[in-house]
Structure formats: C-alpha cells, structure tokens
Amino acid sequence: MRPYRTIFALATLCFAGAARADFPYPANPNLCDSSGMPLGCVPLANEMSGCNGDMWKNASTNACTSDPLVNASANELNGVSGMSIEIAWRLETGRPDVLIAVHDSGILWNDAGDMSQLRRKLHLNAGELPAPNPVGGCHPPVGGDPRDCNGDGVFNMPDYDGDPAVTDVNNNGVTDPEDLILLFSNGVDDDGNGYVDDICGYDFFEFDNDPFDEVQYGHGMG
C-alpha cells in the first residue's frame, strides 16, 4: 500500500476517544454466539459479514459489541454504534466547497464503475489546467466560477464534457481526472505551490502528479 494525496468534496467525521472499542477486540470464543459472530470479540469468519455487515468500516465501534464498558461510555454514545457516516449523513452531507485530503493507496482510475460515481467529487486544481472549452461554449452562472461551464455551482470534471480536447486517454470508458493529468501535464508548476502539475492530487510516495493505485489495493476508493 502506498500513500497519496488527493482532495475529495465529502463529509468528514470527528471521532471521540474510545473506551475499550479500539481494534482489535479480544479474541475470546466464549464471547461469540453460536454462529461465530462477535459479542465483544473478533469475528471468527469474515469481519465484513454477519450482523454488522459493512458498518464496521463506517463506525467507531463494533456494531455487534456487548462490551459493558463500551455500552456505558458517553464517548461511544452509550453503546449506540452511531459515530458513523450513515448516521451523520442523516443530519448533514457536507458542503461541496469543503476540501478533504485523503491519504491512502491511491485512486483506481481504471475502475469505470468507481469513476462514474466519483468523477464529480474529485477536486481539480484550476491553477494547473486550461479552462474547459466544450462544443457550444461555456455557460457559467452569473457571478459564479467562469470555469463552471455546465452551471452546476462547482468546477469539476463534468465541465470538460463536450470539450474535444479532453478524451478518454486512459481507456477506462469514461473521461476522468487522470485523463486531464495525462493530457495537460506540462512539467511546469503553473500555480507556484511547489508541486508540478498537481492537477488532481499528488503522489507523495513516488513524488509524481498521478495518485494512481498501481497496486490495486482499493483503500483509496473505499
């Protein structure tokens, strides 16, 4: 797994200090039910299955724990597996103008399914890019970002849709920020921030401008 930096317009969470909820949980078969699912212990089978499904990835506590010190802790909402993305988004999904730096294995540019969902969420560095020039012209909202060609309130990948200069260079079936990286990297630090061609994030492991998940580890997309 190699670290990288890119920016996502996503909601973020603030996790309080855990009581006894830190992973790994004590592996005690006596605390597991008959199916082997956890009642305060490490799952005996796939930790992504069973009573908590995928919730373990999004919550601060094991969704199936019965540890009394966890259930009695105000830091763990008195046993509610609730410091989670799913519950937080019931109140607020975040603001698209807030930038979040994500450090992990990289972006799976070659996964068309992921790109079709995330191409709108990946931050583009306008200082390193030419303005979009779609067929039919750019029509930003009055008083808005002049690069917001489709008028949706944000400068992102869809503003290059219809621009004949932007093609599917990486052949994943959809135009995405890696296409912009491959097409418009010029070896010059145009915005003067110390990172050459940081069009969409930066790879701080290999010190290049393409945060591609070469090892296909997948954590950067999760």
Which pLDDT does position 210 carry in this prediction? 97
Return the closest-CA partner of residue 69 out of 29, 37, 22, 27.
22
pLDDT in tens, 150-173: 998 889 999 999 999 999 999 999
Residue 205: pLDDT above 80? yes
What sign does the CA torsion over 52, 113, 180, 132 have? negative
- Where residue 72 falls among pLDDT bands split at 50, 70, 90? confident
Distances from the Cα of 142 to the Cαs of 39, 149, 150, 151, 152, in angstroms?
57, 11, 12, 9, 12
- Whether 148 has a pLDDT exceeding 70, the answer reads yes
Cα separation, 89 vs 48, whole angstroms: 21
pLDDT digits (tens, 9 = 90+) for 4-57: 333 333 332 222 222 333 333 344 444 444 444 444 444 333 333 444 455 555
pLDDT at 220 over 60: yes
Least confident range of 77-91, 161-175, 179-193:
77-91
pLDDT of 21: 32
Which helix (H) or strand (E) is 69 found in, with range?
A: helix 68-71
Q: Are the CB atoms for 183 and 169 separated by under 8 Å?
A: yes
Length reported for the chain: 222
Q: What is the value of pTM for the model shown?
A: 0.65
Which element (helix H / strand E) includes 100?
strand 100-102
**CA–CA separation, 201 and 183 (whole Å):** 15
